[in-house]
Amino acid sequence: MTRTVTIEWRPGQTVTARLGGPGKAPLPSVLLAHGAGAGQDHPGVAGLRDLLARAGARVLTFNYPYTEAGKKRPDSQATLLECHRGALAWLRAEVGDEVVLAGRSMGGRMATYLAAGGEPVRGLILYAYPLHPAGKPDRLRADHLAGIVSPMLFFSGTRDSLARVDLIEEHLRPLPTATIELIEDADHSFRVPKRTGRTFEEVLDGIATRTIEWLRGLG
């Protein structure tokens, strides 16, 4: 169900990507970007890709250049956005113009910059959006979000150190195009304590189910 492809995001420079989902998908296609600490094969990213693909969406994940090169330090924001645009252009050539931008943490943040900068997208899905750096709730990354006209779906854990719940309620929930889904007891990786009786796989499955419902609602 998933095939590996190569995307040339800059002349002579490529990254690896993986496309999952049916040939004729009944749901909008999704470009899913990874977070800063791990690439597209991270369980949280690959797991979502596979769950959404099985439900009927075409989903493309990709590596940013630093991940492709085996480095840990993320590229500059300009480079991340250039690569992200290249992946979006590739997916549009494959499935058409109607694409939903999705991303985990940093990847979601890059997606919002593209949309706020005028990139026409069907919607945005933000998994663990990094509203502020850990331990620095005064450094919000929210000003540009008010300029996004596309529907936005945010998933955030109530124990996420990069997104305090009170700041989500103050700065994200009032956005006219935003839908907020809080995952009780989940951290930035959507992991929950054993005392909850839930596994990571169950949490991820619930997130995927809600994502599919939202995608169907886009029409």
- pLDDT greater than 80 at residue 100: yes
Q: List pLDDT tens digits, range 2-53.
A: 999 999 999 999 999 999 998 777 889 999 999 999 999 999 999 999 999 9
Distance of CA 11 to the CA centre of its chain: 25
Residue 12, by phi and psi: left (phi above 0), alpha (psi -120 to 50) or beta?
left
What is the arithmetic mean of pLDDT over 57-80?
A: 97
Please check whether residue 41 is in contact with residue 70, taking contact to mean a CB–CB distance below 8 angstroms: no
Distance of CA 5 to the CA centre of its chain: 19
CA distance 199 to 191: 8
Dihedral of the alpha carbons of 200, 204, 209, 212, in degrees to the nearest 10: 180
Q: What structural domains does the chain harbor?
A: 2-217 (3.40.50.1820)
Q: List pLDDT tens digits, range 152-192.
A: 999 999 999 999 999 999 999 999 999 999 999 999 999 99
pTM for the model stands at 0.96
User: What backbone torsions phi and psi does residue 157 show, to the nearest 5 degrees?
Assistant: -80, 145
